[in-house]
Structure 1
């Protein structure tokens, strides 16, 4: 799943290069559900030959408590992951009608690296399914010159058992259908924006 391809467009054999998709797990809270949800989604996306999927778990990065004068190695590593990816799926919980501070901290470490790339959302929360967090994130990612997808995956934790993926068959079918639509649209936008970047420089 972490196989890398150099360059964009086509491989030497003439086949289209898989779209590099980073699944960003935004919560670092102890006891979080985001890692299970993020890895479920990454496994689902990884079944598509046209996508090259990597998981970027913010819990794996030792970010500084204060913003330093110069980027630390973990900050640079995260920014490099953003720069390498051509499309993003952000997995976020909803905390008090917004997204976690850990996610905002990480997003702000990159700027140019986000530009002209599509961003989709997989959200979870009690009642709202994390949709308030998604709407708050749309504003942030618009400022970063990305394209945010309308369709996403929303998981209402009131529908779940002890774990966020323990749901009934009807809910599971709807969730998987939503994920499929998200991936279809992410691929369309990702490939379209790849071609646009190759054709002409972006003006911001």
Structure 2
């Protein structure tokens, strides 16, 4: 049986961001975990403009090539980890924009979060995202990874240096994501056609 496809999505697109370093760390942990086929998706490279489709995404009728490309990328995954910064007690605009572009591509798929920031460790960003992903029909795992004082955890070479215990916490989140992904896949296979 093939392994399910997991996308690690870098939510921050701004210059000087630390999110890519964090996403690389969680990507490498997921690869070591070996439960998923893992792909890193960088929203800075996806380069979506502010939502510019004339029809609601629930129709799946996209006029723009950038939307069709983003739809194909997101559709290829069976589960997601969003790596998101906390801005002003919430998550960032690029993440919201990327989520809002699509609908059916997200529905019924598990999602986990790695939040990062200052003293609140990205927890408020994750909490603000929960009703959004639920409205899209995604299924969030019960735990998240929260990283405080992000400026102190990325070294001069741009490498994230996790605090003691963070690797284990993140691996536990990946375990939970795999269990949920596997259960949903089995349920889809067992469901009657039609």
TM range (shorter): 0.7 to 0.9
Q: How does 1:97-176 map to 2 (within 5 A)?
A: 97-157=89-149, 160-161=152-153, 163=155, 165-166=160-161, 171=163, 173-176=164-167
Describe the shift of the 1:161–1:113 C-alpha distance in structure 2 as closer, same or farther (beyond 3 A). closer
- Judge conservation of contact 2:121–2:148 (CA < 8 Å) in 1: yes
Worse-superposed segment, 138-147 or 191-200: 191-200
Q: Measure the CA separation in 2 of the matches of 1:41 and 1:140.
A: 22
Q: For 1:73, which of 42, 56, 65 is the aligned residue? A: 65
Pair 1:19 & 2:4 matched = yes
Cα distance, 1:117 vs structure 2: 1.0
- Judge conservation of contact 1:151–1:182 (CA < 8 Å) in 2: yes
- Which TM-score applies when normalising by structure 2? 0.87
Tell me the secondary structure at the aligned position of residue 56 of structure 1. strand
Q: For 1:185, which of 166, 176, 185 is the aligned residue? A: 176
Task: Number of aligned residue pairs: give it.
Answer: 183
Larger RCO (CA within 8 A; separation ≥ 6): 2
- Which TM-score applies when normalising by structure 1? 0.83
Gaps of 5+ in 2: 55-61
